[in-house]
Amino acid sequence: MILMTMKRVKQNATRVMALGLLVGVSACDTDVVNPGPITADFLDDPASQAAIVNGVGRALSDALNWTAYTSAAIAREVHPSGSTGSFGITPEQQRGELNDDEIGTQWSNAHRARFLASDGIDRILGLDAADQDSDQLAQLYLWAGYTSRLLGEQFCQAVYDGGAAEANSDSHLTAAIAYFDQAESLGSGDIATAAAAGRAAANVMLGNWAAAVADAGAIPAGFSFDMPYYDLGDDTQANRIYVAGKAEPYKAHSQIFTWIEQYNPETGGVADTDPRVSWEVSGENGDAASSCCGVIAWNPQTKYTSDDAGIELSSYEEMQLILAENEIMNNNDIPAGMAIINALRTAAGVGTETAATQAEAMTFLKREHAIEMWLEGRRLPAMRRWYVNNTPGDLQTLEEIGDGDVSTGSHLTTRHYCFPISEAEQDTNQNISAADVVRIIDGA
């Protein structure tokens, strides 16, 4: 009986081992499909068009978020209030520097948007014509145009796909104009209008005033086209300037020591005499001690008051300022230019100004530009254009490089006018050496 039992145990053990071996061998099938990531060929499905276009939109919003915030610090649209890490402003940027080892995210984000736009256009155009969604394609061209405009305005040089560095960023602006042409052609309503407005801005940067004026003059009053942001619990989809200053926990920038504090002084803790550059007194201090001046008062901007506050990409007001600058600089018609500026001011509920000379008029125009496009990522490019072209007129005192005494100047010790080729690009792009990197620096 015992022998029988043992025999059965052995038999069973042998069977178990054989079964185990069988299972083990079958487990050796290493062909695994994991869910989640999307294979590249799926993007060539006609059903993917909306997600392709949205991807480009998100990439542009990322790029704008980062360049608008950093350039706002360099242009002194805001004053750094200490935080240097997440959502912060580095000590070098606090001084006015855009160094190639600190702008990698801005460079990468902008080039991701450009790649996705270009790749997306190729994919959609590669579909059968009947499958192409023209509305999506028009939107895609518009995002592509704004992406290239951003690259052309904010970055010193153009680099494509690991290639050589171009002398400047003009080719992005040229590309932007071509994309805007396509968007206008395919799109309608706001898409078409925004394309014309975007094209006007790109042409201004290139000095093509006639084309710019033609587009700008066609933009109707009240037109505004925003880059949308979202309140979804995801900071990367939210308005970065707002998140960096909503005290959860970051209070990374303040309006203290900016010209806006002087131009639009507070009353009872609120500064909204000119509602376009509104801010408030919080009674709290900034995140940390800033390198210029220790712990400073945190007086946050109130232009953006929620995560989902959009950033204007094009507007009627911007177009009017193009027309005004054209009158002042190209036509030397100062009254005409000032009339346009004053019309904008009247519409905003603030007093008008008068100018006797071209320089005086341009000083007002530059200030009005700062007001109308405050915190929209457009100020530093405009400063660059005026600097490079030696355009008459002054910036506001606290926008200028100063000696640290804010009664006579700003805490800026220098100003870089555009984002250089990033250190990561220099490290990884064998067609670029440090000598190829162009920087536009005030006084350099």
Partner 1 sequence: MNRFFTAMSRTAAAVAVSCALVATPVSAQTGTVTGTVTDAMSNSGIQSVQVYLVDTGLGTLTNASGRFLILNVPAGSYTLRAERLGYGTMDMQINVSANGTVAQDFALSSEALGLDEIVVTGTAGAARRREIGNTIAQVDVADIIEPPVSVDAMLQGRVAGMTVLNASGNAGSGARIRLRGNVSIAQSNQPIIYVDGVRMRSDAFDKNVPPTGYPGRSGNDVASPLNNINPADIERIEVIKGAAATTLYGTEAAAGVIQIFTKRGHQGQAQWTASIEQGFANMRPFGIDSSIRNDVSAAGGTTDYMFIDPWLRNAWQQRYSLSVGGGGEDLQYFVSGAMEDDDGVLPNDNEQKQTIRGNFTFTPADNLQLQWNTSFTNDEFTNTAAGNNAHGLTLNVYRRTANYFGNEERENLDLLLGQTIQTQIDHLITGGTATYSPFSNFTNRLSVGYDLAQQNNRNLRPFGFVRAPNGILSDGRSEFETLTFDYVGTLNFGLGSNINSSLSFGGQSVTTEIQRTTAYGEDFPGPGDPTVTTAGTKLGFEQRERVVNAGFFIQDVLDFSNKYFITLGARVDGNSAFGQDFGLQFYPKASASWVVSDEDFWGDMGQLKLRAAWGQSGRAPGAFDAVRTYDGVGWGGSPAFYPRVQGNAELGPERTAEIEFGFDGSFFSDRLAVDFTYYNQTTSDALFAVRQAPSSGFIDLNGGNSQLENVGEIKNSGIEISLNGAVMQGDNWAWDLGASLSTNSSEVGLPGEVPEFSVGGNGWIIDGQPVPVIRGEMVMNPDALAEPVIEDDQIYGPNLPTTIFGLNSTITLPAGLRFSARGEYQGGHYVTAGVAHNAVRRSVVWAGCNEVYNIAGEAPITATSPGRDQLTALQRAKCDPSLSDSNFWAEKADFFKLREVTLQAPLPDDLFPGASGSTLTVSGRNLFRWTNDEWTHFDPEMGGNNDNNPISRDGAQPGSFLVTSISEHIPAPAIWTVSLRVVF
Residues 36-95 contacting partner 1, CB under 8 A: 36-40, 42-43, 48, 50-52, 54-55, 57-59, 61, 82-86, 91
Host H or E run for residue 176? helix 170-186
Provide the minimum distance between the beta carbon of 159 and partner 1 in the complex, in angstroms, as a whole number. Answer: 4
- Looking only at the bridges linking them, the beta strands covering 279-280 and 270-271 are antiparallel
Q: Residue holding tokens 């506050």? A: 309
Q: What length is written for the chain?
A: 444
Which of residues 67, 169, 254, 290 is near partner 1 by CB under 8 A?
290
Site for partner 1 in 377-436 (CB under 8 A): 422, 424-425, 427-430
- By CB under 8 A, the count of residues binding partner 1 is 92
Smaller CB separation from partner 1, 230 or 387 = 230
Name which of 288 and 319 has its Cβ closer to partner 1. Answer: 288
Choose, by CB under 8 A, the member of 1, 34, 268, 405 that binds partner 1.
34
What residues form DSSP beta bridges with 290? Answer: 294
Q: Which residue has tokens 């072209």? A: 389
Kindly state whether residue 167 participates in binding partner 1, applying the rule CB under 8 A: no
Look at residues 140, 87, 133 and name the one whose alpha carbon lies nearest to residue 113: 140
Binding string, 97-136, against partner 1, x = CB under 8 A? Answer: -------xx-xxx-xxxxxx-xx-----------------
User: What is the SS3 assignment for 75?
Assistant: coil
CB neighbours of 87 closer than 8 A, spacing ≥ 6? 240, 243, 244, 250, 252
Specify whether the CB–CB gap between 98 and 416 falls below 8 A.
yes
- For residue 267, list its beta bridge partners: 270
Nearer residue to partner 1 within complex by CB, 403 or 427: 427
Per-residue x/- track, 331-350, partner 1 (CB under 8 A): --------------------
Angle between helix 379-388 and helix 49-74 axes, rounded to 10 deg: 60
**How many other C-beta atoms are found inside a 10 Å radius of the C-beta of residue 134?**
12
Q: Work out how close the CB of 206 gets to partner 1 at its nearest, in angstroms, rounded to a whole number.
A: 21
Which residue of 98, 159, 322, 355 would you call a contact of partner 1, by CB under 8 A?
A: 159
Q: Which is nearer to partner 1, 174 or 285 (CB)?
A: 285
Which of residues 13 and 339 has its CB atom nearest to partner 1 in the complex?
13
What part of residues 249-288 is at the interface with partner 1 (CB under 8 A)?
249-251, 284-288
Maximum Cα interatomic distance, the chain, rounded to a whole number of Å? 121
The Cα 93–Cα 70 span in angstroms is 8
Q: Which is nearer to partner 1, 424 or 437 (CB)?
A: 424
**For partner 1, which residue of 166, 170, 226, 235 counts as binding (CB under 8 A)?**
235
Q: What is the dihedral of CA 406, 408, 409, 413, to 10 degrees?
A: -90
CB of 91 to partner 1, least distance (A): 6
Site for partner 1 in 171-230 (CB under 8 A): 228, 230
